[in-house]
Structure 1
């Protein structure tokens, strides 16, 4: 699919990722990478007393960082040389992701602008659904710069 064809889908959900399990080893690895060892993420017993989830919760930035990998299948069908994370215009964390939860990314194409010949800026309204939860973990306006 050409980027111009994807642009014609503005306003539509253009991808939903597979479910990903957020387990304690993943949370601990993220804590080690970032140096954020706050107890609500790494100490199940202490966290159970304050999180309301019965245990630890994922870092908000861990949840957000999953978008890149979750978008690969969605963008794999688009003919381009490279797609790069261009940043976020807005992110709101709405619900904690409990350890053991399954999450998936949902991507609605909000805007597609050809910045110059062969270069497109895509704006996605992205969210991270938590299986069985009423609210998503977050909603975000995510920008991806694509080059043909």
Structure 2
């Protein structure tokens, strides 16, 4: 469910838990497309037959593919109305805690840790956790920075 707030109410959102996204399956096709886009064709990602006997027992998503899903998930969880520009400002910390096997389903939880005024808008510092369905550890833990300009 998307939390939608007006720009005028953005300053008071620190500490807000936005909940969880819907599950998303990580397919081999998505992994292959990411490999083509980044020119990273390492066999643990794009060769399922070879990867089956590799260290993870099958093909896995690139760590940066898993991280890039935060963009899709963030927009599923949160939006601000009354703004002219929305910017992914960067990351403060990222950890790839466990691999995402091809065919697994992932989802993300986000908590707005801080809201700071910046020239022309607000910066949101967001703690994001991507989990793998049935996994014992998260796949990705990241602190994202997003800016909303009026």
Shared fold by TM > 0.5? yes
Residue-by-residue CA offset, 1:76-104 (whole Å, 9 max, x unaligned): 35442221110111101100000000111
Tell whether the 8 Å contact from 2:11 to 2:122 is kept in structure 1 after alignment.
no
Tell whether the 8 Å contact from 1:7 to 1:111 is kept in structure 2 after alignment.
no
Match of 2:93 among 82, 90, 94: 90
Map 1:11-90 → 2, pairs under 5 A: 11-52=15-56, 54-76=57-79, 78-90=81-93
Q: Which runs of 5 or more structure 1 residues have no equivalent in the other structure?
A: none
Cross-structure match for 1:138 = 140
What secondary structure is seen at the aligned counterpart in 1 of 2:73?
A: helix
CA distance in 2, matches of 1:38, 1:84: 31
Is 1:113 aligned to 2:116, yes or no?
Answer: yes
What secondary structure is seen at the aligned counterpart in 1 of 2:78?
A: helix
Q: Which runs of 5 or more structure 2 residues have no equivalent in the other structure?
A: none
Residue-by-residue CA offset, 1:106-132 (whole Å, 9 max, x unaligned): 11101000113x400100001111111
TM-score with structure 2 length normalisation? 0.89
What is the alpha-carbon root mean square deviation over aligned residues?
Answer: 1.6
What secondary structure is seen at the aligned counterpart in 2 of 1:137?
A: strand
Cross-structure match for 1:129 = 131
Structure 1 residue 18, shift from structure 2 partner: 1.6
TM-score with structure 1 length normalisation? 0.90
Which one has the bigger strand percentage? Answer: 2
